[in-house]
Amino acid sequence: MRYEVADRVARLTIDRPDARNALSAEVREGLWAGVRRFVDDDSAAVLVLTGAGDRAFCAGGDLKEMAEDRLTVPPPDFLPQFGRNIEVPKPTIAAVNGIAYGGGFLLAQQCDLVVAAEHARFAVTEVKVGRGSPWAAPLSWLVPPRVAMEILLTGDPVDAHRAREIGLVNDVVPAALLLERAHRLAARIAANAPLSVRAAKRTAYLSASHPRDEAYARAEEIWAPVYASADAQEGPAAFRDRRTPVWKGA
């Protein structure tokens, strides 16, 4: 795994291109370490997750390793699942540079935004190898239920343009521009008021787990400290004074 930060944007790269960035034990440990490092890194406001090479974002689990270990039900900490087994309050972007199958689909699904190269492919392939995908439970919130059903029942890949049509992907770009586009998107987010960004992320997920009235009530609680912050006064003052805001995150 490689972790680097530039312009308040962290990039975490799955670096096993010879095996299509499959999720070996070593890769999984590196993912955990990288995600935890990002969460604790005050110099990084947004994470871009990608894979090395141009063939694969992540091909999913290492099936040879699974066969050798006779893996049955993966343990809860098998892989970092943002918002499920690890809280990641800052925004995350998947830069999908090839196939995102199985566990690779999981990683892209768990990110808040997805930018895909034109040759990217997405698939929940578990039905083709007799494995399970309980982690795909949020899929019918991200895409129409019948589309989610087709993805899960067939295991067939969805190309990047179709993924954008159904709402799984935010943007599709030529492969040569993928990391640049993902970084630009991340930088736009990183330039915003950090408390507002984190509250906006939490608000966007409320409707997935709460009825409407409860979602409104929870949103009011989430945003109350933002309204009371120094940054809430800095934004209007900067607009009045025709200058760039200086965010304190407080």
Nearest in space to 75 (alpha carbons), one of 64, 66, 67: 66
Confirm if 101 and 120 have CB atoms less than 8 A apart. Answer: no
Sheet of strand 56-58: strand arrangement: 56-58, 99-101, 121-123, 158-159
Distance of CA 149 to the CA centre of its chain: 21
Distance CA 73, CA 75 (A): 6
223 phi, psi to nearest 5 deg: -85, -15
* pLDDT value at residue 130: 84
Beta strands in the chain (DSSP E): 2-6, 9-14, 46-51, 56-58, 92-96, 99-101, 113-117, 121-123, 158-159, 171-173
Percent of the chain residues past pLDDT 90, beyond the cut = 83
- Taking residues 155-173, what's their average pLDDT? 98
Q: CA 45 → CA 10, 38, 186, 212, 222, distances in Å?
A: 7, 8, 8, 29, 19
Q: Judge whether residue 17 has pLDDT over 80.
A: yes
Q: Judge whether residue 180 has pLDDT over 80.
A: yes
pLDDT classification of 66: cutoffs 50, 70, 90: low
Its pTM stands at 0.93
The dihedral of CA 166, 170, 174, 175: what is its sign?
A: negative
pLDDT classification of 63: cutoffs 50, 70, 90: low
**Coil vs helix vs strand at 61:** strand
52 phi, psi to nearest 5 deg: -75, 150
- Name residue 48's beta-bridge partners: 11, 93
